[in-house]
Structure 1
Amino acid sequence: MAVSISAVVLLGMIVFVLIRGGSVRLGPALACAGFGFFLASTGAAPTITDAIGTVTSWISSI
């Protein structure tokens, strides 16, 4: 749970900086957020969650 909250905060800050810097416009950012929201309710969500958990545990063991 703590990893997913940290990932949400980190990704949120990255998106904020990209929008403010003009690299990404608001429309495409909202489209990506909507895609992620709907992807989370599909059958792919557990696989993605497991993959992120594996990567974060691998990084923390370094």
Structure 2
Amino acid sequence: MALTLSAVVLFGILAVVLLRGRHVSFGTALVLFLFGFFVAGTGAYKPIYNLCQAIAEALTHLTT
């Protein structure tokens, strides 16, 4: 059975776990969220997206 998760869902779950475990403060999480939000609107979006796609594809080939 294949399970697919959106990167947004994955990072959202990770953020909730870190916040609940008191590993990061709410202020730190907000700053990182805003940083990611504003980076998405720049030219850096496409290379970062391509890198994530390549890593995901490589991981897929490791499990088969």
The answer to which structure, 1 or 2, has the higher relative contact order (CA under 8 A, 6+ apart) is 1
TM-score by length of 1: 0.88
Query: For residue 8 of structure 1, what is the aligned residue in structure 2?
Result: 8
Identical aligned pairs, as a percentage?
A: 39
The two structures, once aligned, show a CA RMSD in angstroms of 1.3
Count of residue pairs the alignment pairs up = 59
TM-score (structure 2 length as normaliser): 0.86
Task: Select the structure of larger CA radius of gyration.
Answer: 2
Unaligned runs of 5+ in 2: none
Higher helix share: 1
- SS of 2:37's partner is helix
- For residues 41 and 6 of structure 2, what CA distance do their matches in structure 1 show? 20
Equivalence map 1:12-51=2 (5 Å): 12-51=12-51
- 2:18 alignment partner AA: L
